[in-house]
Amino acid sequence: MSAMLLNKEKWPEFVEKLAGKNILAPQADGDAMRFAAVAEGDVPALDYNNTRVPPKGALFPQTETMLKFQAGGEQVEEPQLDRETVVLGLRPCDARAMTIVEKLFKWDIDDPYYVRRRDLSTLVGLVCNEPGMNCFCPSVGGGPASTEGLDLLMTDLGEKYLFEAVTDKGEALLSETRDLMEEADGNVAKEKEKLVSEAEQKIKRTVDTEGVAEGLPGLWDDPLWQKVSASCLGCGTCTYLCPTCHCFDIQDETEGFDARRLRTWDSCMFDEYSLHTSGHNPRPTRKERTRNRISHKYSYYVDKFDVIACVGCGRCTNLCPVNIDIIETIRQVKEAL
Amino acid sequence: MKTNENPYIPYPATVKETWYETGGERCIKTFKIVFDDEKVREEWSHLPGQCAMIGVLGVGESMISISCSPTEGDFLRFSVMRMGKVTQALHQLETGDKMMVRGPYGNNFPVDEWQGKKILTIGGGIGQAPLRPIVEYVRANQDKYDGLTMIYGARTSNDLCFKGEFEEMNKCDDLSCHLTIDVEEEDWSHNVGFVPQMLLDLNPSPENTIAITCGPPIMIRFVLENLKKLGFKDDQIYTTLENRMKCGIGKCGRCNAGNMYVCKDGPVFNYAVLKEIPEAFA
């Protein structure tokens, strides 16, 4: 796999070379950053910490048309998904989250929308030189320069970007833009190594997950769930902003006779999520819903897919309006074991 | 994407026959349907216990138990209680109308494993819908099973489903059908009392027997208790769960009971497995 250097002066030309593809990159959205389509001629800047909303929408849009039809009809039409997409500058944790979610979307039966979007996408990651204050990716199997889930990894070396191909798809994108770049030599590898180890040292928060997956089911009636969920508002922010949260609702929407079946992100923190039509709810309060959210990520998912469904991005902790901290929650779980 | 590669695409089926099982606000209507496409008809295969997503385009879809056995013929049957938006729209369908169907989903009752055994079904209300395919399956393969006993109850005689079919059963030596309603009614010749009590009164032997129960959660709880009293072991007992579902194929998340997805790991569970999942009886 190739390793190439791009002088930052040539960054606009690099982006220009990708014209025709759907380019998603972090862009300012009010006071936060968010992945959005790059308008023709625009040059996205990659000097950002992480986006508030993860880039999971690139493969799993917040709202996605599944089928189009006439209300009351019997013929359905599928959306055409054929535009190549390049996601520029996503963080390694968010790419790792995509590999985790993909396990579910490919479990026995392929989810055609997710799989198709992944096939059409090239994921270009960006090493975290400056991890955030609630980042804890190394504790859950990741790292600031993890290549898992990526096709191509970029490292910001100051004057230059280092591009390292991870997959054939990444290699193909490099070959399209190769004439703007120069080969990277051995010194560059050392430079990158130094940056990464500095970044790793900047990650101060950790979780100890040992025994958590096996132990969580036994804590079913533990008072910790009451404690952890006591301040929860049930707003769903933790799930919407979680790069591994993949739950969705399916609804039909009609406008006259034109109708579509769509899916939208849903949240296990909402009452309606598991509400039966009879009025019975197996998870009637935020206590049960919190227990399910944590158990799903740290135990059920491990049981099914052999990986913790948390990548340590820290978003749920950063943005919880009542300061519920997943690291603290897992610490309490450990304590109760 | 080719059509048959997308599991979310429902197939049109024609309603061949419909009738009401029960009346009232939450009435239950049965639909007998046949897929329009010959290829879909040929490729479709289900076993007792499985479900399907049925619906109307522009309104939505709901996961409903397939309430017929494959031994009955080249059609599907669904018995639907009128509860919400989708079931309301389904209830408007009449003979000749189109229903959109995808599936079959979930695991099935291990009817092959049960060969040579006595089968005991214990149902309450609409809970008889997933049990009916077992009754029909055993009825069609009587030489392979050591008889079937069916206990079925509802609040009133008007709330019993499939009433017309039970008379036939009692004509067979190996099949017996025991009906019960909660309160006394005029002209009611069967039992009066709750299902779990009737189970105790009948006192079936656990010897070489498989018990399957489905009904309201409170009924299931007492039936399980009474089966234990009668000496049934955990692994002789099966039940079928339901939870809210959207996708039916283990993607949308919501139907889990603990680490089990009801749509994929269930809906049929052996009690030995189920009793380890506290959320299963939540």
Q: Are residues B132 and B219 in the same domain?
A: yes
Q: Are residues B123 and B230 in the same domain?
A: yes
Of A149, A174, A202, the one marking the end of a domain is A202
pLDDT at residue A135 greater than cutoff 90: yes
Q: Is A300 in contact with B256 (Cβ distance < 8 A)?
A: yes
Q: Is A259 in contact with B8 (Cβ distance < 8 A)?
A: no
Of A169, A202, A235, the one marking the end of a domain is A202
Residue identified by tokens 């079946």 is A261
Q: Are residues B126 and B236 in the same domain?
A: yes
Tens digits of residue pLDDT in B41-96? 999 999 999 999 999 999 999 999 999 999 999 999 999 999 999 999 999 999 99
- The answer to whether residue B252 is domain-embedded is no
Q: Are residues B47 and B127 in the same domain?
A: no
Q: Are residues B91 and B122 in the same domain?
A: no
- The answer to whether residue A67 is domain-embedded is no
Report chain A residues whose CB lies below 8 A from the CB of B10. 76
Q: Are residues A90 and A115 in the same domain?
A: yes
Of B56, B72, B105, the one marking the end of a domain is B105
What's the domain range around A11?
3-62+73-202
pLDDT at residue B225 greater than cutoff 70: yes
Q: Are residues B131 and B234 in the same domain?
A: yes
Q: Are residues B88 and B129 in the same domain?
A: no
Q: Are residues A140 and A49 in the same domain?
A: yes
Q: Are residues A225 and A157 in the same domain?
A: no
Q: Is A259 in contact with B57 (Cβ distance < 8 A)?
A: yes
- The answer to whether residue B156 is domain-embedded is yes
What is the rounded average pLDDT of the residues A154-183? 96
Q: Are residues A240 and A155 in the same domain?
A: no
Residue identified by tokens 């819908």 is B129
Report chain B residues whose CB lies below 8 A from the CB of A219. none
pLDDT at residue A72 greater than cutoff 70: yes
Q: Are residues A20 and A130 in the same domain?
A: yes
Q: Are residues B90 and B184 in the same domain?
A: no
Residues in contact with B204: Cβ distance below 8 Å, sequence separation at least 6, in sequence order: B118, B120, B149, B211, B230
Which pair of tokens denotes residue A134?
Answer: 């609630």
- The answer to whether residue A68 is domain-embedded is no
Q: Are residues A327 and A271 in the same domain?
A: yes
- The answer to whether residue B262 is domain-embedded is no
What pLDDT was estimated at residue B4?
Answer: 59
- The answer to whether residue B236 is domain-embedded is yes
What pLDDT was estimated at residue B164?
Answer: 86
- The answer to whether residue B71 is domain-embedded is yes
Q: Is A72 in contact with B242 (Cβ distance < 8 A)?
A: no
- The answer to whether residue B266 is domain-embedded is no
Of A151, A182, A202, the one marking the end of a domain is A202
CB contact A244 to B (< 8 Å): no
pLDDT at residue B3 greater than cutoff 50: no
Q: Are residues A322 and A274 in the same domain?
A: yes
What pLDDT was estimated at residue A296?
Answer: 97
- The answer to whether residue A316 is domain-embedded is yes
What is the rounded average pLDDT of the residues A53-69? 97
What pLDDT was estimated at residue B2?
Answer: 36
Number of domains forming the structure of chain A: 2
- The answer to whether residue B157 is domain-embedded is yes
pLDDT at residue A160 greater than cutoff 90: yes
Which of A111, A116, A119, A271 is the mutation pick for testing B, counting most B CBs within 10 A?
A111
For residue A106, the chain B residue with the least C-alpha distance is: B251
Question: What distance in Å separates residue B3's CA from the closest CA in chain A?
Answer: 8
Tens digits of residue pLDDT in A219-240? 999 999 999 999 999 999 999 9
For residue A281, the chain B residue with the least C-alpha distance is: B282
pLDDT at residue B282 greater than cutoff 80: no
Q: Is B59 in contact with A73 (Cβ distance < 8 A)?
A: no
Model confidence at A122, pLDDT cuts 50, 70, 90, reads very high
- The answer to whether residue B257 is domain-embedded is no
Tens digits of residue pLDDT in B92-120? 999 999 999 999 999 999 999 999 999 99
CB contact B275 to A (< 8 Å): no
Q: Are residues A245 and A171 in the same domain?
A: no
Q: Is A274 in contact with B243 (Cβ distance < 8 A)?
A: yes
Q: Are residues A168 and A289 in the same domain?
A: no
Q: Are residues B23 and B127 in the same domain?
A: no
Q: Are residues B101 and B122 in the same domain?
A: no
For residue A114, the chain B residue with the least C-alpha distance is: B251
Q: Are residues A279 and A196 in the same domain?
A: no
Question: What distance in Å separates residue B118's CA from the closest CA in chain A?
Answer: 33
- Of A76, A104, A251, nearest to B60 by CB-CB distance is A251
What's the domain range around B16?
3-105
Question: What distance in Å separates residue B55's CA from the closest CA in chain A?
Answer: 10
Report chain A residues whose CB lies below 8 A from the CB of B84. 277
Q: Is B9 in contact with A274 (Cβ distance < 8 A)?
A: no
Q: Are residues B30 and B128 in the same domain?
A: no
CB contact A298 to B (< 8 Å): no
Q: Are residues B123 and B79 in the same domain?
A: no
Which of B259, B263, B274 is the mutation pick for testing A, counting most A CBs within 10 A?
B259
Tell me how many residue pairs between chain A and chain B have CB atoms under 8 A apart: 123
Q: Are residues A84 and A232 in the same domain?
A: no
Question: What distance in Å separates residue A229's CA from the closest CA in chain B?
Answer: 18
Report chain B residues whose CB lies below 8 A from the CB of A72. 56-58
What pLDDT was estimated at residue B172?
Answer: 77
Of B240, B256, B273, the one marking the end of a domain is B240
What pLDDT was estimated at residue A254?
Answer: 95
- Of A105, A259, A283, nearest to B58 by CB-CB distance is A259
Number of domains forming the structure of chain B: 2
Residue B122 belongs to domain with CATH number: 3.40.50.80
What is this model's ipTM? 0.93
What pLDDT was estimated at residue A59?
Answer: 97
Tens digits of residue pLDDT in B153-181? 999 999 999 988 888 877 877 888 999 99
pLDDT at residue B233 greater than cutoff 60: yes
What pLDDT was estimated at residue B1?
Answer: 33
pLDDT at residue A322 greater than cutoff 50: yes
- Of B1, B278, B282, nearest to A116 by CB-CB distance is B1
Q: Are residues A30 and A166 in the same domain?
A: yes
pLDDT above 70 coverage of chain B, percent: 98
What pLDDT was estimated at residue B148?
Answer: 95
Residue B80 belongs to domain with CATH number: 2.40.30.10
CB contact A19 to B (< 8 Å): no
Question: What is the residue-wise DSSP string for chain B?
Answer: --GGG-TT--EEEEEEEEEESS-STT-EEEEEEEESSHHHHHH----TT-EEEEEETTTEEEEEE--S-GGG-S-EEEEEE--SHHHHHHHT--TT-EEEEEEEES----TTTTTTSEEEEEEEGGGGTTTHHHHHHHHHTGGGSS-EEEEEEESSGGG-SSHHHHHHHHTSTTEEEEEEESS--TT--SEES-HHHHHHHH----TTEEEEEES-HHHHHHHHHHHHHTT--GGGEEEE-----SSSSS-S-TTEETTEETTTT-SEEEHHHHTT-GGGG-
Report chain A residues whose CB lies below 8 A from the CB of B8. 66-67, 112, 261
pTM of the prediction?
0.94
Helix axes A326-336, A286-295, angle to 10 degrees: 90
Report chain A residues whose CB lies below 8 A from the CB of B259. 217, 299-300, 303-304
